Amino acid sequence: MTDASLAAGATGPAARGSTPAMRDRLARRHASERRFRRAGLGAVGLAVASLVFLLASIAWRAVPAFRATELRLDISFEPAALGVPGVSADQPEEALAGADYRALLRASLAELFPQVEDRRARRELDGLLSRGAADDLRDRLEADPALIGTRASIWLPADDEVDLALERGASADAGDRGLSETQRGWLATLEQEGRVRRVFDTRFFSSGDSREPELAGILGAVVGSFLTLVVTLALAFPLGVCAAVYLEEFAPRSRWTDWIEVNINNLAAVPSIVFGLLGLAVLLDVFGLPRSAPLVGGMTLALMTLPTLIITGRVAIQAVPPSIREAARGLGASPLQVVVHHVLPLALPGILTGTIIGMARALGETAPLLMIGMVAFIVDVPHRFTDAATVLPVQIFLWADSPERAFVEKTAGAIVVLLGFLVLMNSAAIVLRRRFERRW
């Protein structure tokens, strides 16, 4: 087809005036755009695939953290076996204080494996049970004193190495530094007799930290995180909103306010550990506040979150149309009434969204809390803002640094819980934004 026929068949002045060189450049440009779009889609696909792989690997590793192994033993609660011959169901509180519950466990295991007589072998046999099994037995007897003088089958927590052995199954080799071959044989015998079961690990959500992986839980860290965020929200939200309102609605334009705005923007980009150093130097050393307490942690995170809340609050206030202010002033409203009755209600969705995102960032922070001592090993669940506590990110840090192999699964489980909280908080921000957002 000739150039004349192409020109005759084309429509429009641009097509009629086109030349082969122009069409070639246009084809190259379209090809370049297609390559750019494919590269963009490939980058997005790679990012999504990497995120899915990361989350799937964490979730897969976290599955054992939500399951626990229990062994069923036949326990004889005879007073002589308890080591307190005169005890009865009528006076259990005082008499059971000195009972030897480990002796009950050893006696029950000896009944199941009477051939084990060597002292070292007995220690290995006792090692199938968790060190917290005696405490569980004591709690069970104190809750039900009628068990005294009877014999009952009770499920008790197994050692973390038993958990790992059952998780790995046949994939565990003989050189594994967990259970010995003899212990694996005893465990196989217990399985054949129906004395081993895998259950949902409620202890993971209902207890505090522990040196033993099978006894460790996240309740203390969750409560500590909640108390810390309450202090953070109580301090950062009102201060951030008031500062944003003043700077946007009342502050005169001067070098002083410009200097404040520049420093607020700079503080929002400061590494979080700097705020931890500030909390250590001022809150602990100068004011003498309690170390490793949610009160100090919340104050430190409030300092870190405050610049972000001020910036998001100012953006939300700026988004309110000036006509709203002018209409309110035209009806005789004072500047304060304009802000309280008109500007703030319309800017509230954006302010709440920024606040929730700031709280989500504070929930995931570790570095500033390490500087104020919240890295301590805390067993008890905190009840007050001044009690010693830890938070979920720090708990994850402690478990990840532990030499116990079973803490790997506990770490992954705690990460899943933390990610769940972050997803909920960000989802709440999106819902609030869509529910209350006004389009002008």
224-250 per-position pLDDT tens digit:
999 999 999 999 999 999 999 999 989
What pLDDT does residue 9 have? 46
Question: What residue ranges define each of the domains in the chain, with the CATH number in brackets?
Answer: 70-201 (no CATH), 219-436 (1.10.3720.10)
What pLDDT does residue 174 have? 42
The residue-averaged pLDDT of 61-67 equals 90
Q: Provide CB contacts within 8 A for 237, sequence distance 6+.
A: 309, 355
What pLDDT does residue 86 have? 62
Q: Provide CB contacts within 8 A for 229, sequence distance 6+.
A: 298, 301, 359, 362, 363
Confidence of residue 170 (pLDDT cuts 50, 70, 90): very low
CA dist., res. 394 & res. 391, Å (int): 5
State the average pLDDT for the chain.
Answer: 86
What pLDDT does residue 94 have? 64
Q: Which of 379, 57, 352 is nearest to 210 (CA)?
A: 379
Contact criterion met (CB below 8 Å) for 388 and 293: yes
Residue with tokens 């030349």: 19
Q: Which amino acid is at 270?
A: V
Q: At what angle do helices 407-436 and 20-62 cross, to 10 degrees?
A: 130
Contact criterion met (CB below 8 Å) for 407 and 209: no
For 95-164, the DSSP string reads HGGG--HHHHHHHHHHHH-TT--SHHHHHHHHTTB-TTHHHHHHHHHHH-GGGTT-EEEEEEEBPHHHHH
Q: In terms of pLDDT, which residue wins out, 20 or 218?
A: 218
> What percent of the chain clears pLDDT 70, i.e. is strictly above it?
90
Confidence of residue 76 (pLDDT cuts 50, 70, 90): confident
Burial 168-183 (b: 16+ CB within 10 A, else e): eeeeeeeebebbeeeb
| Helices and strands (H and E) in the chain: how many | 21, 3
Q: Which of 211, 227, 210 is nearest to 382 (CA)?
A: 227
CA dist., res. 233 & res. 250, Å (int): 24
What pLDDT does residue 189 have? 92
CA dist., res. 23 & res. 422, Å (int): 52
CA dist., res. 133 & res. 137, Å (int): 6
Contact criterion met (CB below 8 Å) for 147 and 141: yes
**What sign does the dihedral 78-79-82-88 (CA atoms) show?**
positive
Order the strands of the 151-157 sheet from edge to edge. Answer: 151-157, 67-76, 196-200
